[in-house]
Amino acid sequence: MDIRKLCLLCLSFLSAFNVYAQAEKKDSTVQDNKGVLITLTDGIATTVRHTGRKIRKVGKEFNAIDTTYISPNLYNLAFMLESSSWYEYYRLGSKGNNGEQSLGFSPNASFKLGVYFGWRWIFLGYSFDVKDIFGGHKNKAKKTEMALNLYSSKFGVDLYYRKTGSDFKIRSSSGFDLNTPIKNLNFNGLQSKIKGLNAYWIFNYKKFSYPAAYSQSTNQRRNAGTLIAGLSVSTHNLKFDYAKLPEIIQETMSPGMKVRHIKYTNISLNFGYAYNWVFARNCLACLSLSPAVAYKTSRIEKDTEEPSDWYKNFNIDFILRAGVVYNNSKYFVGTSFVGRTYDYYKNSFSLNNGFGIL
């Protein structure tokens, strides 16, 4: 065998050995990758299971109840028809050379119908304004109203947002030299936005149930009361065009009431009491009231010739909840109301506003 053939044979052997080594290395790499992937997948699955158990454990702790006083519903899924109404009012006041003056504004109450599907204490659905069906909102600025209420055994949360239209009316007036009082006069110079959050803690949560009155996910079997404490944060944005008021009011209007834009943030701590009264079999009435110490910081834009003022002060607000419901664990019917008032006072200017959902 000549040297050239021997070299070719050696090269062929080395090439085949190299290919085999690469294939073996590639197979080993694939196996390693599969092992890492399996380990990673098992780790993720274990973490998900562990997290799920933790969430279920925390959920049970937050919804722990004394079954002598409270019984859970027998069903998780629910269907509900609902009629809801929003109410709100604004009162602007001032002290000046003409004494105390005030104007009260509010729109007509809005009525909505809705269809909802629920799982335990979560309800999703759609509602529409009754006036839209009959064309009652033609040529009116669009209103937006949203509210989300979550109730568990230990705590609850109210989220809300409201943007008014232009259908306010002057409901009351005082301190003005008027031959006849002004009432229910249309006024399109007022628009407002309000958004906020109420969070509260229920102390006697094993015997007292907010969900029994407001989300029908439990049933109160015996009378019970509880102390409640909470935190509230909200922002208010009010635009007021006093030039659209009747001339007779503008002529004697205090300069302190001639504001263009009021924007303030409200932060409050509240502490109160709630009571559930089981007045008949499967029938419950609930009432709670929470006074709140509120810190307010605001910017008030006065007439165009005057600079804006910043104010910071403390006031007392109130949160009211009330409900009556019949619930036999399968069917329920009832009504509930959640209302909130805000008060703002300075020497030359005051603002009281409140809203409620029925």
Distances (CA, A) of 178 to 84, 103, 237, 247, 248: 37, 13, 30, 11, 8
Most confident of 34-43, 99-108, 276-285: 276-285
Residue 224 has a pLDDT of 95
**Which residues have a Cβ under 8 Å from the Cβ of 278 and sit 6 or more positions away?**
220, 221, 222, 223, 284
Largest CA distance in the chain: 133
| DSSP of 136-151 | TTTT----EEEEEEEE
**Is 1 a residue whose pLDDT tops 60?**
no
pLDDT band at residue 107 under the 50/70/90 scheme = confident
Given a contact cutoff of 8 angstroms between Cβ atoms, the answer to whether 269 and 231 are in contact is yes
**Is 285 a residue whose pLDDT tops 80?**
yes
Residue 121 has a pLDDT of 66
Q: Which residue do the tokens 């052997």 mark?
A: 13
**Is 162 a residue whose pLDDT tops 80?**
yes
Distances (CA, A) of 333 to 209, 278, 297, 302, 323: 17, 15, 41, 48, 11
Tell me the mean pLDDT in the region 260-279.
90
**Is 17 a residue whose pLDDT tops 50?**
no
265 alpha-carbon distance from chain centroid: 16
Which of 97-101, 205-209, 263-267, 354-358 has the weakest average pLDDT? 97-101
The β-bridge relationship of strands 99-107 and 168-174 is: antiparallel
- Return the amino acid letter for 154: K
Tell me the mean pLDDT in the region 123-146.
69
Task: Convert 162-172 to b/e letters by CB count within 10 Å (16 or more is b).
Answer: bbbbbbbbbbe
The model's pLDDT over 48-94, given as tens digits with 9 standing for 90+, comes to 776 766 666 655 665 678 889 998 878 888 888 989 888 888 888 88
pLDDT > 70: percent of the chain: 77
Average confidence score pLDDT of the chain:
79
Q: What is the DSSP letter of 346?
A: -
Helix locations, the chain, DSSP H: 3-62, 130-133, 211-214, 247-251
The model's pLDDT over 298-339, given as tens digits with 9 standing for 90+, comes to 777 766 555 555 567 777 888 899 999 999 888 999 999 988
User: Which residue from 330, 179, 200 is spatially nearest to 268, judged by alpha carbons?
Assistant: 200
